[in-house]
């Protein structure tokens, strides 16, 4: 088990290096630089700007400099926001995105597992069809539609909840968390249903029932551990998706999270900021995938015994 984990960590280092290298060179290939503006900057000023940020050096030596600083933990200054470093900006955005992702994950798991269970325990009945058609709608409905819709109903018509903000008005975290969580709730519902249906026809469930256990015990003690396996393996990508995919929700609700920093950086060609956030996101995705693999192994005896995985 420990060997697997160590193995995976070792593999992730070259993966990160490749991500850094590809990002570094690709953003420089993209037309337009960080200082291109609608009103042309005279060439002599552009020259000084490039010197200031070492953009006049050969690209490869810039790359080596970047790696050197990175090892020291220095992501460099933001090209656009002249009074902030990339590290500072990430540290302000990341906790917000994490918090939002956490609430959304709770909502997704709660609704998703309940709906999935309800469907799996009585398949092909109304209790299956209704939650599952909701799930289908949830998957199909993009957040940029659901968000404004919720705002319109709860923020503007009923005036129950604030339409935007984060930590400024009472209840301003509710709508964004629901918006972000819903799409994942739908996936989780479908995964739960599938996983549970498969398990419920297994022999050991019949044995458990034959022992005279109540249905609740059968479901919670015996079936759920195996039936939720697909959900657990989905958690890694889901958390990564919640963190990196929160941009739309952050924009709709005016939330100062990392997603907005990331997209703004890409539009502005803020090279250091793009690299910093990309490295961070890749690290997060790699770690959460690893974490969900470990959890899956722990839950699934078939995998646990097979060291080769």
Partner 1 sequence: MIKFLLNSIIILVISVAVLSSCSGDKKTNASEETKNQILHIGNGTEPQGLDPHVVTGIPEFRLITALLEGLVTEDPKTIEPMPGAAESWTISENHKTYVFKMREGAKWSNGDPVTAHDFVYSWKRLITPGLAAEYAYQLFYLQNAEKYYKGEITDFNEVGVKAIDDKTLEVKLNNPVPFFLSLLYHHSLYPVHKGTIEKFGKIDSRVSKWTLPGNFVGNGPFVLKKWDINKIIVVEKNPLYWNAPNVKLEEIHFHPIDNEQTEERMFRSGQLHVTSTVPSEKIEGYKEKSPELINIDLYMGTYYYLINTTKKPFDDPRIRKALAMSIDRRQIVEKVTKGGQIPAYALTPPNTMGFTPKAAIPYDIEGAKRLLAEAGYPDGKGFPESELIYNTNEGHQKIAVAIQQMWKNALNINITLSNQDWKVFLDNQRTLNFVLSRASWIGDYPDPNTFMDMWVTNGGNNHTGWSNKAYDNLIAKAAEAIDQKERYDYFQQAEEILADEVPIIPVYTYTRNYLIRPEVKGWYPNILDHHPYQHVYLEEIN
Q: Please give the residue ranges that form the binding site for partner 1 (CB under 8 A).
A: 30-33, 35-45, 48-49, 51-52, 77, 80-84, 89, 92-93, 103, 106-107, 110-111, 114, 118, 122, 127, 148, 151, 155-156, 159, 162-174, 177-178, 251-254, 256-257, 260-261, 264, 267-269
Shorter beta-carbon distance to partner 1: residue 92 or 306 = 92
Q: d(Cα 258, Cα 242) in Å, to the nearest integer?
A: 12
* In the complex, least distance from residue 226 CB atom to partner 1, rounded to whole angstroms: 22
Mapped onto helix, strand or coil, the DSSP state of residue 103 is: helix
* In the complex, least distance from residue 279 CB atom to partner 1, rounded to whole angstroms: 19
Shorter beta-carbon distance to partner 1: residue 280 or 286 = 280
* In the complex, least distance from residue 163 CB atom to partner 1, rounded to whole angstroms: 4
Q: d(Cα 80, Cα 50) in Å, to the nearest integer?
A: 13
* In the complex, least distance from residue 151 CB atom to partner 1, rounded to whole angstroms: 6
* In the complex, least distance from residue 178 CB atom to partner 1, rounded to whole angstroms: 7
Shorter beta-carbon distance to partner 1: residue 36 or 65 = 36
Q: d(Cα 161, Cα 170) in Å, to the nearest integer?
A: 8
Shorter beta-carbon distance to partner 1: residue 195 or 257 = 257
Residues listed for the chain: 309
Q: d(Cα 225, Cα 208) in Å, to the nearest integer?
A: 14
* In the complex, least distance from residue 156 CB atom to partner 1, rounded to whole angstroms: 6
Shorter beta-carbon distance to partner 1: residue 82 or 214 = 82
Hey, which bits of the chain come out as E strands?
none
Give yes or no for a contact between 290 and 8, defined as CB atoms under 8 angstroms apart: yes
Q: d(Cα 109, Cα 197) in Å, to the nearest integer?
A: 18
Q: Is 73 exposed, middle or buried (0-12, 13-18, 19+ CB in 10 A)?
A: exposed
Q: d(Cα 208, Cα 131) in Å, to the nearest integer?
A: 27
* In the complex, least distance from residue 200 CB atom to partner 1, rounded to whole angstroms: 16
Is the C-alpha dihedral spanning 261, 262, 265, 270 positive or negative?
A: positive
Shorter beta-carbon distance to partner 1: residue 111 or 286 = 111
Shorter beta-carbon distance to partner 1: residue 168 or 214 = 168
Non-local (6+) Cβ contacts of 12 within 8 A are: 286, 290
* In the complex, least distance from residue 212 CB atom to partner 1, rounded to whole angstroms: 23
Q: Is 242 exposed, middle or buried (0-12, 13-18, 19+ CB in 10 A)?
A: buried
Shorter beta-carbon distance to partner 1: residue 52 or 298 = 52
Which of 244, 276, 274, 270 shows the shortest CA–CA distance to 259? 244
């Amino acid at each position: 088990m420990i060997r697997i984990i160590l193995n995976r960590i070792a593999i992730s280092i070259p993966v990160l290096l490749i991500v850094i290298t590809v990002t570094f060179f690709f953003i420089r290939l993209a037309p337009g630089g960080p200082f291109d503006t609608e009103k042309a900057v005279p060439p002599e000023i552009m020259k000084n700007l490039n010197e200031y940020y070492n953009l006049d050096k050969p690209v490869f030596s810039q790359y080596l400099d970047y790696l050197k600083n990175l090892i020291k933990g220095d992501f460099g200054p933001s090209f656009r926001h002249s009074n902030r470093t990339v590290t500072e900006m990430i540290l302000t955005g990341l906790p917000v995105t994490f918090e939002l992702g956490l609430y959304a994950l709770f909502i997704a798991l709660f609704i998703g597992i309940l709906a999935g269970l309800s469907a799996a325990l009585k398949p092909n009945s109304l209790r299956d069809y209704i939650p599952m058609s909701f799930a289908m709608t949830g998957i199909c409905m993009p957040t940029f539609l659901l968000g404004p819709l919720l705002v319109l109903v709860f923020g503007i018509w009923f005036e129950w909840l604030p339409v935007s903000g984060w930590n400024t008005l009472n209840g301003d975290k509710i709508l964004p968390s629901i918006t972000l969580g819903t799409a994942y709730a739908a996936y989780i519902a479908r995964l739960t249903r599938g996983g549970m249906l498969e398990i419920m026809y297994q022999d050991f469930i019949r044995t458990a029932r034959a022992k005279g256990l109540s249905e609740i015990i059968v479901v919670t003690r015996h079936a759920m551990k195996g039936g939720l396996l697909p959900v657990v393996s989905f958690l890694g990508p889901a958390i990564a998706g919640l963190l990196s995919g929160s941009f739309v929700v952050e924009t709709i609700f005016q939330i100062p999270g990392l997603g907005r920093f990331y997209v703004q950086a890409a539009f502005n060609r803020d090279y250091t900021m793009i690299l910093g956030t990309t490295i961070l996101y890749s690290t997060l995705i790699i770690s959460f995938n690893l974490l969900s693999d470990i959890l899956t192994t722990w839950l699934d005896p078939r995998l646990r015994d097979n060291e080769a995985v």
